[in-house]
């Protein structure tokens, strides 16, 4: 198969020693237990198609797109293989030849008319504050699916005296590369224009994926060059003091995009420990943290698997008898909440939402 | 065939999809060959029925755990069925009072140790691949690890095995007792049999108490021979460290590059660990330091800080994969990778290996579990050029000749399978007839992992397809 994108990584594929270290804790391998559903499998499939040793088949496409891009395998891979780059390049070749899950095809079409992943009407900022110090960028999942939690983050900012505004943001476009697609040019441009037009120099991101995209994607380089400061919400909250205390057992799920991909592990813990006296780690935490199953386009294309993975992660929190499972990512929040059964005796919240609720509860 | 296998294990656990067949046709070796079908049994009875069927139809069956073997052990030379045993992952019995644990074959080494930890015990063979390799694969390859000098290899921990023979018959070999003197020790014969004599479905394994404390040290040497001498003198002094490793300069450079460990950039280092109670540890560490100094160590660093010790340990355990970052365009090949020689010969053989590398224009590193005389070498080549493979083959042949000439063996822990078979046959020439007889007795139709060990081709390079993109 002609795979110009994957071909750039031929050396990387050869360097993969096929040791299988990447089986450990891979959410898809753990769920299916077929060797082909691991990073080793995905690299081999890419290599096999590239070299003409195996044909392009539906199974091959599915294996490549089932990956949540959680990055657990890169932590485990001691050969230092750029696994996610190989998988994304392979997805790009597959997508360019029309071989991608139906939901991803639909995504492309959605963006012909709309500007968010859900095909919803344009996001209307609930708050415009021209003299603000910060812009809060909420992201598609926060704006359209976990809005209640996002609004509580806003309210917490207000209580903490953080002056912010929202903007008529559109999708950051970060998810496109994960699906092997090119993000529509208009998206970044609209966001950049909306941000620059406010004259505000600081952005707080409540979604780690948007945060990562703004910080790393070429399309947003203009903002970086203009010295716009970008912070994740936990970095902002770390410097704040809270007057409340909580003594029930609390644990924290590291979002892959915030933790493994951006290296932000300590800040959320520092924030939680300011209010929760009984904080306990999940057995798999920080760079070893298990994935929630929502990333890499898996929630859209393979919802059943996505929820299955989230159930596994939630079970870890239930098994340690945590009463609150915290995270700080609208996607993780959404998926973990979807996995929760009514009888599961646990609350699932973003950290900011949790603190806001505590403050309100005190009153 | 798919129909019969599906009737045994269910549709969900059988695949003849070309994608699965391709992925299951490879392990951590240079070899690759597709099976016809992959089946994932969940019970002893299913394994037995699969084998009965395969035996009747004379279809090859290759057992597989994680597929982390480095000699092509789980590569299906003659196609047939891959029997993936990872679903059989139950820990069946934990008996600290009788010093054993009984597990299914698909249990992963580190998972077993995670479960054993609260009991204050561990399963001692500790391969670097422990986070993924299975007990079945460890027994079948007689895996060992850094701590084998004190705690032994897998064979030393195998008390009993449940085996499914090629005919489908299920046998219990060995005992649950710590000693036995009751006839042929079939469980021992299965150790290192690489899936050619029977399928291991259960193992009764000896437990070892977890040591209370440990300390670690690194000694730097300007001469590889000094490091080698230090290792054999430490052992000769009657000290049993919990591990005793050495690394040459190529290995040190790779680890430093990948892990930022700042290991001393000398010709060789010796890494040692002592465990047990503090008084013994300190006493032995002092003795090791003395031996190293006498053998010309230019610097010795000792630590009991868990973080520092973990870094040293990481450096060693990630060495093999770290080699892949050594130089762009060169890949690490699993060839001539785990010879064992008498301890006193380590330095001499390591130096000869470097001469061989130079002569054959390949990059080679040597390192290993020196306390057990284990020499790992890694051959780095540009895999795209056929000529480089010829060079590698020549180097491998010379290395094995050297190893055999000093009374060493071609494989200390990874097994023989395909890549080492030509030289294994030379080393064990006097035993080949008996090996064939044993194989015939256990597996008269030659269905179990055929074409391996004594039955493997004499040229490992043409034995299977090579997994790399060779151009000409
Ligand atoms: C990076 C890396 C580091 C390694 N480090 C070490 C090390 O430190 N020490 C060491 O000893 N090895 C090491 N190995 C080699 C390998 O990991 C071990 O030999 C391991 O025990 C193989 O286990 P597996 O489950 O992957 O078996 P596989 O590779 O799947 O199989 C190995 C052999 O066992 C047979 N087999 C598997 N399961 C069964 C069963 N249930 N019944 C019968 N036969 C069976 C297979 O047919 C095959 O012949 C390393 C490998 C890699 C890639
Ligand atoms: S851990 Fe890395 S080197 Fe090993 S098989 Fe997976 S991707 Fe390849
Ligand atoms: S990124 Fe996550 S899901 Fe994808 S192969 Fe790696 S560990 Fe598995």
Are A197 and A105 spatial neighbours (Cβ–Cβ below 8 Å)?
Answer: no
Q: HSE-up of A14 (CA within 13 Å, CB side)?
A: 23
Distances (CA, A) of A213 to A104, A114, A258, B110: 19, 20, 11, 36
Write down which residue in B323, B346, B378 finishes a domain: B323
Counting ligand 1 atoms within 8 A of each CB, the residue from B44, B68, B205 with the most, and so the one to mutate, is: B68
Contacts of B232 (CB under 8 A, 6+ apart): B343, B344, B346, B347
- What CATH number corresponds to the domain at position B165? 3.30.465.10
3-state secondary structure of B358: helix
Rounded to whole angstroms, the Cα distance separating B223 from B226 reads 5
Mean pLDDT rounded to a whole number for chain A? 95
Does A73 contact ligand 3 (Cβ within 6 A)? yes
Counting ligand 3 atoms within 8 A of each CB, the residue from A16, A27, A30 with the most, and so the one to mutate, is: A27
Mean pLDDT rounded to a whole number for chain B? 94
Q: HSE-up of A193 (CA within 13 Å, CB side)?
A: 8
Is residue B109's pLDDT more than 70? Answer: yes
Are A18 and A40 spatial neighbours (Cβ–Cβ below 8 Å)?
Answer: yes
Confidence of residue A58 (pLDDT cuts 50, 70, 90): very high
Counting ligand 2 atoms within 8 A of each CB, the residue from A12, A13, A16 with the most, and so the one to mutate, is: A16
Instruction: State the total domains in chain B.
Output: 3
Residues B292 and B418 in one domain: no
Q: B110 lies in a domain? A: yes
Whole-number pLDDT of residue B420: 97
Distances (CA, A) of B173 to A92, A283, B62, B163, B170: 53, 37, 21, 7, 10
Q: What is the pLDDT of residues B395-423, one digit of tens each?
A: 999 999 999 999 999 999 999 999 999 99
Distances (CA, A) of B407 to A5, A264, B30, B228: 50, 54, 27, 17
Q: B472 lies in a domain? A: no
Is residue B51's pLDDT more than 80? Answer: yes
Q: Which atom of ligand 2 lies nearest, measured to the CA of A17?
A: 3
B contact set with A (CB within 8 A): 15, 17-20, 22-24, 26-28, 38, 40, 66-68, 84, 86-87, 108, 110, 129, 131-133, 258, 317-318, 320-322, 324-325, 328-329, 331-332, 334, 383, 467-469
A contact set with B (CB within 8 A): 10-11, 14-15, 17-21, 23-24, 33-36, 40-41, 44-45, 48, 51, 53-55, 57, 59-60, 63, 76-81
CB contact under 8 A, B258 and A80: yes
Residues B332 and B432 in one domain: yes
Tell me how far apart the terminal alpha carbons of chain A are, to the nearest angstrom: 64
Is residue B65's pLDDT more than 80? Answer: yes
> Which residue from B190, B68, B88 is spatially nearest to B128, judged by alpha carbons?
B68
- What CATH number corresponds to the domain at position B436? 3.30.70.2740
Residues of B in contact with A55 (CB under 8 A): 18
Whole-number pLDDT of residue B317: 66
Tokens, residue B441: 């007795």
Distance from CA of B294 to the nearest CA of A (A): 35
Q: What is the pLDDT of residues A114-142, one digit of tens each?
A: 898 988 888 888 888 888 999 999 999 99
Interface test with B, best of A61, A79, A82, A287 (most B CBs within 10 A): A79
Tokens, residue B401: 């000749």
Distance from CA of B286 to the nearest CA of A (A): 33
Distances (CA, A) of B311 to B216, B244, B277: 11, 16, 22
Residues B156 and B261 in one domain: no
Confidence of residue A108 (pLDDT cuts 50, 70, 90): confident
Rounded to whole angstroms, the Cα distance separating B248 from B472 reads 33
Residues B223 and B117 in one domain: no
Q: B111 lies in a domain? A: yes
User: Average pLDDT of B440-456?
Assistant: 98
Tell me how far apart the terminal alpha carbons of chain B are, to the nearest angstrom: 37
CB contact under 8 A, A57 and B17: yes
Q: B471 lies in a domain? A: no
Confidence of residue A363 (pLDDT cuts 50, 70, 90): low
User: Average pLDDT of B239-263?
Assistant: 81
Residues B273 and B341 in one domain: no
Helix (H) or strand (E) holding B366: strand B363-368
Is residue B258's pLDDT more than 70? Answer: no
Q: B338 lies in a domain? A: yes
Tokens, residue B2: 């798919």
Output DSSP code: residue B448.
B
Whole-number pLDDT of residue B259: 64
Q: B265 lies in a domain? A: yes
Output DSSP code: residue A124.
-
Confidence of residue B321 (pLDDT cuts 50, 70, 90): low
Residues B314 and B357 in one domain: no
Residues B259 and B271 in one domain: yes
Q: Compare B147 and B121 and report the one with higher pLDDT.
A: B121
Sign of CA dihedral A33, A35, A36, A40: positive
3-state secondary structure of B315: helix
Tokens, residue A348: 């699932």
The DSSP-derived string for B365-386 is: EEEE-GGGTEEEEEEEE-TT-H
Residues B119 and B266 in one domain: no
> Which residue from A192, A188, A190, A200 is spatially nearest to A128, judged by alpha carbons?
A200
Residues of A in contact with B469 (CB under 8 A): 10, 14, 51
Write down which residue in B323, B349, B366 finishes a domain: B323
Distance from CA of A45 to the nearest CA of B (A): 7
Q: Which ligand is nearest to the CA of A36?
A: 3
Whole-number pLDDT of residue A130: 82
Question: What domain range includes position B29?
Answer: 1-210
CB contact under 8 A, A78 and B322: yes
Rounded to whole angstroms, the Cα distance separating B268 from B262 reads 14
Is residue A88's pLDDT more than 70? Answer: yes
Residues B315 and B367 in one domain: no
> Which residue from A159, A120, A161, A160 is spatially nearest to A138, judged by alpha carbons?
A120
- State ipTM: 0.95
Whole-number pLDDT of residue B198: 98
Is residue B320's pLDDT more than 70? Answer: no
Phi, psi at B410, each rounded to 5°: -70, -25
E runs forming strands in chain A: 134-137, 164-165, 202-205, 229-232, 250-252, 324-327, 347-350
Q: Give the max Cα distance, chain B.
A: 68
Confidence of residue A63 (pLDDT cuts 50, 70, 90): very high
Is residue A257's pLDDT more than 90? Answer: yes
Q: What is the pLDDT of residues A161-175, one digit of tens each?
A: 999 999 999 999 999
- What CATH number corresponds to the domain at position B317? 3.30.70.2190
The binding-site residues of ligand 1, defined as CB within 6 angstroms of any ligand atom, are A 19; B 27-28, 62-70, 73-74, 85, 105, 127-129, 133-134, 136-138, 140-141, 143-145, 194-195, 199-200, 320-321, 413-414, 449
Rounded to whole angstroms, the Cα distance separating B458 from B393 reads 12
Output DSSP code: residue B462.
H
Are A297 and A178 spatial neighbours (Cβ–Cβ below 8 Å)?
Answer: yes
Q: How far is the CA of A309 from the centre of ligand 2 (A)?
A: 22
Residues B311 and B333 in one domain: no
> How many Cβ atoms sit within 10 Å of the Cβ of residue A11?
14
Q: Which ligand is nearest to the CA of A76?
A: 2
User: Average pLDDT of A318-339?
Assistant: 97
> Which residue from B165, B157, B151, B159 is spatially nearest to B193, judged by alpha carbons?
B165
Confidence of residue B363 (pLDDT cuts 50, 70, 90): confident
Tokens, residue A188: 């970044």
Q: What is the pLDDT of residues B113-128, one digit of tens each?
A: 999 999 999 999 989 8
Query: What share of chain B has pLDDT > 70, as a percent?
Result: 98
Write down which residue in B155, B176, B210 finishes a domain: B210
Residues B348 and B439 in one domain: yes
Is residue A296's pLDDT more than 90? Answer: yes
Distance from CA of A287 to the nearest CA of B (A): 16
CB contact under 8 A, A79 and B321: yes
Sign of CA dihedral B411, B135, B441, B180: positive
Q: How far is the CA of A285 from the centre of ligand 1 (A)?
A: 28
User: Average pLDDT of B434-456?
Assistant: 98
b/e sequence A84-105, b meaning 16+ C-beta within 10 Å: bebbbbbbbbbbbeebbbebbe
Is residue B56's pLDDT more than 90? Answer: yes
Rounded to whole angstroms, the Cα distance separating B470 from B75 reads 19
The DSSP-derived string for B19-43 is: HHHHHTTB-SSSEE---SEEE---S
Sign of CA dihedral B465, B470, B471, B472: negative
CB contact under 8 A, B131 and A36: no
> How many Cβ atoms sit within 10 Å of the Cβ of residue A110?
16
The vertex-A141 CA angle with A139 and A142, nearest 5°, equals 65
Q: B83 lies in a domain? A: yes
Query: What share of chain A has pLDDT > 70, as a percent?
Result: 99
A268: left (phi over 0), alpha (psi -120 to 50) or beta: alpha
Sign of CA dihedral B192, B197, B200, B203: negative
B104 strand-pairing partners: B202
> How many Cβ atoms sit within 10 Å of the Cβ of residue A288?
16
Q: Compare A286 and B328 and report the one with higher pLDDT.
A: A286
Output DSSP code: residue A131.
T
User: Average pLDDT of B434-453?
Assistant: 98
Residues B292 and B380 in one domain: no
Does A71 contact ligand 3 (Cβ within 6 A)? yes
Q: B286 lies in a domain? A: yes
Rounded to whole angstroms, the Cα distance separating A53 from A65 reads 20
Confidence of residue B308 (pLDDT cuts 50, 70, 90): confident
3-state secondary structure of B213: strand
Distances (CA, A) of A98 to A106, A110, B373: 12, 17, 55
3-state percent helix, strand, coil for chain A, nearest multiple of 5: 50, 10, 40
Q: What is the pLDDT of residues B74-96, one digit of tens each?
A: 999 999 999 999 999 999 999 99
B451: left (phi over 0), alpha (psi -120 to 50) or beta: left
Q: Compare A290 and B364 and report the one with higher pLDDT.
A: A290
């Amino acid at each position: 198969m002609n795979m110009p994108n994957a071909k750039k990584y031929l050396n990387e594929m050869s360097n993969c020693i096929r040791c299988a270290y990447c089986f450990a804790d891979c959410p898809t391998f753990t769920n299916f237990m077929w060797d082909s559903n691991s990073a080793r499998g995905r690299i081999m499939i890419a290599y096999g198609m590239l070299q003409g040793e195996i044909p392009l088949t539906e199974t091959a496409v599915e294996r490549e797109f089932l990956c949540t891009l959680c990055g657990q395998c890169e932590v485990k891979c001691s050969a230092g293989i750029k696994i996610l780059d190989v998988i994304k390049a392979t997805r790009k070749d597959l997508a360019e030849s029309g071989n991608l899950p139906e939901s991803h095809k639909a995504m492309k079409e959605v963006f012909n008319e709309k500007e968010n992943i859900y095909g919803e009407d344009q996001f209307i900022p609930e708050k415009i504050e021209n003299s603000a110090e910060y812009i809060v960028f909420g992201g598609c999942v926060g704006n359209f699916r976990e809005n209640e939690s996002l609004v509580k983050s806003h309210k917490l900012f207000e209580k903490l005296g953080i002056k912010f505004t929202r903007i008529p943001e559109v999708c950051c476009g970060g998810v496109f590369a994960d699906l092997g697609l090119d993000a529509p040019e208009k998206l970044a441009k609209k966001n950049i224009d909306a941000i620059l037009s406010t004259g505000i120099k600081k952005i707080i991101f409540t979604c780690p994926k948007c945060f990562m995209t703004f910080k790393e994607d070429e399309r947003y380089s203009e903002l970086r060059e203009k010295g716009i400061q970008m912070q994740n919400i936990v970095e902002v909250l770390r410097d704040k003091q809270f007057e409340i205390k909580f003594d029930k057992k609390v644990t924290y799920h590291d979002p892959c995009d915030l933790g493994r991909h951006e290296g932000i592990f300590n800040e959320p813990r520092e924030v939680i420990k300011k209010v929760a006296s009984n904080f306990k780690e999940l057995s798999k935490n920080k760079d070893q943290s298990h994935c929630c199953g929502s990333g890499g386009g898996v929630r859209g294309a393979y919802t059943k698997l996505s929820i299955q993975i989230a159930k596994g992660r939630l079970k870890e929190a239930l098994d340690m008898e945590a009463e609150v499972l915290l995270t700080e990512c609208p996607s993780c929040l959404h998926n973990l909440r979807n996995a929760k059964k009514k009888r599961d005796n646990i609350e699932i919240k973003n950290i900011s939402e949790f603190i806001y609720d505590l403050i309100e509860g005190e009153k | 065939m798919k129909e019969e296998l599906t009737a045994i294990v269910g549709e969900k656990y059988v695949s003849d999809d070309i994608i699965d067949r391709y992925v299951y046709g490879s392990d951590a070796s240079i070899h690759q060959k597709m099976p016809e079908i992959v089946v994932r049994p969940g019970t002893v009875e299913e394994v037995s029925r699969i084998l009965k069927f395969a035996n009747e139809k004379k279809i090859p069956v290759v057992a597989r755990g994680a597929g982390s073997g480095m000699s092509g052990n789980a590569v299906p030379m003659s196609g047939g069925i891959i029997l993936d045993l990872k679903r059989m992952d139950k820990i069946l019995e934990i008996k600290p009072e009788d010093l054993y644990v009984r597990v299914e074959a698909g249990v992963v080494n580190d998972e077993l140790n995670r479960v054993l930890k609260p009991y204050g015990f561990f399963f001692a063979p500790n391969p670097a691949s422990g986070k993924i390799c299975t007990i079945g694969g460890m027994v079948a390859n007689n895996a060992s690890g850094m701590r084998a000098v004190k705690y032994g290899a897998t064979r030393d921990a195998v008390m009993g095995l449940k085996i499914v023979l090629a005919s489908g018959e299920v046998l219990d070999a060995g005992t649950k007792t710590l000693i036995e003197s009751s006839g042929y020790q079939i469980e021992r014969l299965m150790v290192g049999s690489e899936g050619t004599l029977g399928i291991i479905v259960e193992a009764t394994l000896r437990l070892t108490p977890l040591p209370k404390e440990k300390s670690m040290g690194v000694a730097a040497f300007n001469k590889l021979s000094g490091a080698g001498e230090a290792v054999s003198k430490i052992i000769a002094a009657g000290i049993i460290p919990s591990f005793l490793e050495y690394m040459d300069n190529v290995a040190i450079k790779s680890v430093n590059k990948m892990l930022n460990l700042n290991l001393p950039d000398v010709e060789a280092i010796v890494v040692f660990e002592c465990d047990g109670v503090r008084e013994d540890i300190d006493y032995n560490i002092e003795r090791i330091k003395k031996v190293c100094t006498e053998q010309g160590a230019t610097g010795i660093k000792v630590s009991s800080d868990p973080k520092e010790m973990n870094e040293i340990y990481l450096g060693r355990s990630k060495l093999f994969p770290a080699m892949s970052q050594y130089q762009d365009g060169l890949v690490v090949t699993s060839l001539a990778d785990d010879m064992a020689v008498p301890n006193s010969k380590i330095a001499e053989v390591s130096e000869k290996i470097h001469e061989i590398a130079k002569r054959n224009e390949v990059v080679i590193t040597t390192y290993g579990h020196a306390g057990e005389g284990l020499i790992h070498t890694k051959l780095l080549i540009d895999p795209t050029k056929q000529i480089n493979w010829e060079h590698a083959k020549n180097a491998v042949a010379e290395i094995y000749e050297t190893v055999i000439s000093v009374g060493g063996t071609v494989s200390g822990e990874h097994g023989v399978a395909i890549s080492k078979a030509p030289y294994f046959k030379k080393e064990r020439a006097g035993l080949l007839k008996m090996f064939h007889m044993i194989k015939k007795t256990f597996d008269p139709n030659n269905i179990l992992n055929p074409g391996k060990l004594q039955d493997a081709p004499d040229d490992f390079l043409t034995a299977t397809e090579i997994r790399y993109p060779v151009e000409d």
